[in-house]
A = this chain, B = another copy of it.
Amino acid sequence: MEKGSIRIKDIAEKANVSVGTVDRVLHNRGNVSEKAKKKVLAIIKELNYEPNLIARTLGTNKVFNIAALVPDPDLDLYWREPFNGIEKAEKEFFQYGIRIKKYTYNQYNPDTFIESANQVLENKPDAILVAPIFFNVSQEFLGNCKERNIPFVLINTDDRAQKPLSYIGQDSYQSGLLAAKMLHYGINGGGKLLIAHLAEDLESSTHLIKKEKGFRHYFEQQEELDDQFEIVSHYLKIPFQVPLLDQMDAIMNINPDIAGIFVTTSKAFEIAGYLEVIGREDIKLIGYDLLEPNINYLEKGVIDFLINQNAKGQGYLGVSVLNDYLIFKKKVDQLKYLPLDIISKENLQYYIDSEK
């Protein structure tokens, strides 16, 4: 029943030193003669030593405190998902010594971000998971983290200029392309397409801009398509100042021949509701994310497809990366795009199941 794997002890014996010395070179703790170091290193290489991670986590009986700084899940359904993902990871990695403290902020108010961010820094966490949705405000915070040598992982909003340990999120441009494909495929012969940004603020939402860009590029790539399809885009501010019904009526009046709508946020259900009311369920509708109301309209057939950005996965993976880094000392990928899943009524169940 030999386990076969090589232990520190084996290396020590082969190098005629003690396990302490091997340990020292393994962790670069110094206080090792050049001679010994070379010898140990050679043998490690020769034997292809891989540390036993199980034993390591048990041995380093350390607790790591991670701060998670994300929008308040009670203010927006979308943010419920990453939040759940973080909590799932919290349970799973507890036994490895990972402790997570969650800090939330109001996604409509940058000041609350600053406030929570300060709290995070006060508590001196060992690592940070953050969704830096306010570009300007985040800069200072992330700068502070770097100054204090606190590693951080970014989710949802890419800001790799800040050199995070890792960015986990979506490729917005590509998802725009994908949405375009799905509408194009479903609409033979061309027509008019509407991009609907249902958001609080368009300027600072680089995501949405990128999605639109990807969407448009899909059609611009081929001259033939470019002729067949016409694209209009509208920004519908949330919360609605003017009732959605009126806003959409206005749009539909000017563009009575709309054949497909691409909602760039998780608010497709709003548009779906509208289409249902005016009895235009023939218009193809694509949106994002498996929120309850979206799922309902997907099952009814009003929404044709949802692109799943796997928001829950973002939260989970974010913590997972930190766990790999802190506990297992693995090197982690600097960039992780999550799959853009295409969800229809027919394969919905699997994605709901696997989210549990």
Contact = CB atoms under 8 A, between A and B. Distances in A.
Interface of A: 1-5, 50, 52-55, 57-58, 61-63, 94-97, 171, 174, 177-178, 180-182, 185-189, 218, 304, 337-342, 344-347, 349-351, 353-354
Contacts of A174: 346-347, 349
A287 to B, nearest CB: 15
Contacts of A186: 185-186, 188
B97 A178 contact: no
A189 B344 CA distance: 20
Contacts of A337: 350, 353
A342 B350 contact: no
Nearest to A327: B54
> Which 10 pairs across A and B sit closest by C-beta, in order of nearness?
A339-B350, A342-B342, A178-B346, A340-B347, A177-B346, A181-B346, A188-B188, A185-B186, A1-B63, A178-B347
Contacts of A54: 54, 57-58, 95-96
Nearest to A218: B346
A63 B2 CA distance: 7
Contact of A58 (B55, B95, B181): B55
B52 A95 contact: yes
Given A58-B58, A339-B350, A344 B181 contact: yes
Contacts of A189: 188
A284 B135 CA distance: 44
B97 A344 contact: no
A344 B347 contact: no
Contacts of A2: 63
Nearest to A177: B346
Contacts of A304: 185
A352 to B, nearest CB: 10
A150 to B, nearest CB: 18
A340 B50 CA distance: 36
23 contacts: A3-B97, A5-B94, A5-B95, A52-B95, A53-B95, A54-B54, A54-B57, A54-B95, A54-B96, A58-B58, A174-B346, A174-B347, A177-B346, A178-B344, A185-B185, A186-B186, A186-B188, A187-B188, A188-B189, A339-B350, A340-B346, A341-B342, A342-B347
Contacts of A340: 346-347, 350
Contacts of A96: 54
Contacts of A346: 174, 177-178, 180-181, 218, 340
A137 to B, nearest CB: 30
Contacts of A342: 341-342, 344, 347
B1 A62 contact: yes
Contact of A350 (B52, B53, B58, B338): B338
Contacts of A3: 61, 63, 97
Contacts of A347: 174, 178, 339-342
Contacts of A61: 1, 3
Contacts of A351: 339
Contacts of A180: 346
Contacts of A177: 346
